[in-house]
Structure 1
Amino acid sequence: MHCEHCNKPLKELIIECDFGADPIWCGHCLANLELDEMPLSEVLLTELTTWMCAFGEWIDIENDSFIEGTEHLAEAHDKQGVLLAQKVADELGTGVTIKFSPYLTN
């Protein structure tokens, strides 16, 4: 597997959600990678897509703040992201490091 942007071997991937982007990023050049080009099972691709589509349900975009009472949605999204990152690591096996970048930081 090579990054289509920097042409480096994909030895490190970052799992992170953002608006309008697939949730997998090259750990070398930080380019957003096409989810459907990753060698992952259809089940995991569906889980990642569902997770990606739920991103930001807690954000008031106009005011760049939490919608009142929805902080728990961001926490749940991050917890699910940790689990999905582990599933990606399990499917890709050794040789690829997976890092998860949460929405919330402590």
Structure 2
Amino acid sequence: MNCCCEDGKIRALKLEGDVGADPVWCHQCGCNLDIEEVPISNELKQTLILWAGKYGEWIDWDKDCLIDNGIELEERFNQAGYTLLQQLKQEIGEVYSITYSASSSARHYARKYKG
């Protein structure tokens, strides 16, 4: 795995959903890592890809607003992320430290467009 750190050595990973990105990042430099290069099982890779593909389902991108029940959808996404974090830790937790960055975009949209 390669990242943008000066020495090129990844010491810590971050699990985070984002639009159009693989869900694993270098925690130091913020570089998005190719999920195919992360040393985990193919089953977990596929699960992570499916989970990441759900990022932002709580936002109506065309109207740039939160959909009805958007906060609940984001909370479910984050709960699934915490579960996946545990699975990542089981598979590579001794090689890298791993953290989860929960989404807060629904709350941002709720505040942004609050009457």
The TM-score, its normalising length taken from structure 2, stands at 0.81
Instruction: Extract unaligned runs of 5+ from structure 1.
Output: none
Which whole-Å CA distance do the structure 1 matches of 2:74 and 2:3 have between them? 31
Q: Which runs of 4+ in 1 moved over 6 A?
A: none
Look at both structures and tell me which one has the larger radius of gyration over its CA atoms.
2
Residue 113 of structure 2 corresponds to none
Look up the match of 1:5.
Answer: 4
Please tell me whether the aligned partners of residues 58 and 74 of structure 1 are also in contact (alpha carbons under 8 angstroms). yes
Match in the other structure for 2:104? 104
Asked if the contact 2:3/2:32 (under 8 Å) is kept, the reply is no
What are the Cα deviations for residues 69-102 of structure 1, in whole angstroms up to 9, with x where unaligned? 2321100000000111111111013141111000
Structure number having the greater helix percentage: 2
Q: Structure 2 regions of 5+ residues with no counterpart? A: 108-115
Cα deviation, 1:19-76, whole Å, max 9, x if unaligned, reads: 0111111011110000011111011001101101111111122444311223211000
RMSD: 1.9
Question: Number of matched residues?
Answer: 105
CA contact (8 A) 1:85 1:99 kept: yes
